[in-house]
Copies of this chain bind each other. A is one copy, B any other.
């Protein structure tokens, strides 16, 4: 066996040497030492916020509700620390700088504190989402069940936290937060999207909400709905420009499963978009958009269609 192992070792060593050289033209990708934000830290940010916003649902019970106060104190304390650490990593990643980390930490501290200040409002809005879900779902009997196991609640916690941080100019982290929710729920909301109160998504798998969407209050989506871009303009380097390119959905709109609403169009308030519709033009308030009727024939042959 020695000779055989010797040959294996030789091949491994040669491949290692090749892999230790950067890919041609990819130098720019790897040209600075960065410390990327940690996915585990992201998970603990969400976990702490869940304990603060919905106390008793995801952590252990207390001797008594009055003891909750301490638990919230500890969660807020930890949340602040994790946020400062991760936000400053975000700045360092973005700007490829490590030597200015003291300044990065100072900016991170300010942002983290602002975020903490926003927590009561964040909580209030998340409770409106829970109420909206409750009013839309005949299959549910109490809000505990919604908070505890509905994927849309998870997606909305991730999104609303990410959106706050996005608005405050935090790089990278908002996107990681929403991609975590995407992986868990199949709901992909860009942190840049603006979403009003009492928002609900039923089932949710396959929902996509683009970066420049503006969504009003009391809007309901079903699984597979895309609020996307129809096209985009390229800059001189051939990279697409980041312009408003996603729909505006006004208050009290419902969009059924697998509908695609594309481009900077407006869906007027109190409209209903039917399932599987492909919509690329604005519609007036109180509209009702349906797919054309499918053709029907008798089915005779064996397998397939």
| A residues with CB within 8 A of B | 1, 5-6, 8-9, 11-13, 15-16, 18-20, 23, 26, 29-30, 33-36, 52, 55-57, 60-74, 76-78, 80-81, 93-94, 99, 109, 113, 116-117, 119-120, 123-124, 127, 130, 134-139, 141-145, 147-151, 171-172, 175-176, 179, 182-186, 188, 190, 192, 203, 205-206, 208, 210-211, 222-224, 226, 228-234, 238-243, 245, 254, 256-258, 260, 262, 270-272, 274-279, 283-284, 286-300, 302-305
Contact = CB atoms under 8 A, between A and B. Distances in A.
B298 A288 contact: yes
A305 B151 contact: no
B272 A299 contact: yes
A37 B51 CA distance: 16
Nearest to A231: B304
Contacts of A278: 274-277, 290-291, 294
Nearest to A6: B64
A179 B276 contact: no
A274 B305 contact: yes
Given A76-B12, A182-B151, A275-B226, A20 B69 contact: yes
Question: What copy number does this chain have within its complex?
Answer: 6
Given A8-B109, A294-B279, A296-B283, A69 B16 contact: yes
Of A184, A205, A289, A295, the most chain B CB neighbours within 10 A belong to A205
Contacts of A137: 240
A233 B302 CA distance: 9
A8 B80 contact: yes
Contact of A36 (B57, B67, B172, B277): B57
A205 B192 contact: no
Nearest to A137: B240
B188 A176 contact: no
B64 A9 contact: yes
Contacts of A33: 56, 61, 65
A97 to B, nearest CB: 12
A241 B176 CA distance: 39
A293 to B, nearest CB: 8
Given A176-B149, A286-B298, A113 B11 contact: yes
Nearest to A188: B203
A224 B147 CA distance: 25
B245 A138 contact: yes
Given A120-B15, A127-B26, A149 B292 contact: no
Contacts of A241: 138
B289 A232 contact: no
Contacts of A1: 99
Contacts of A145: 172, 175
Nearest to A102: B102
Given A1-B99, A8-B64, A15-B119, A151 B179 contact: yes
B304 A230 contact: yes
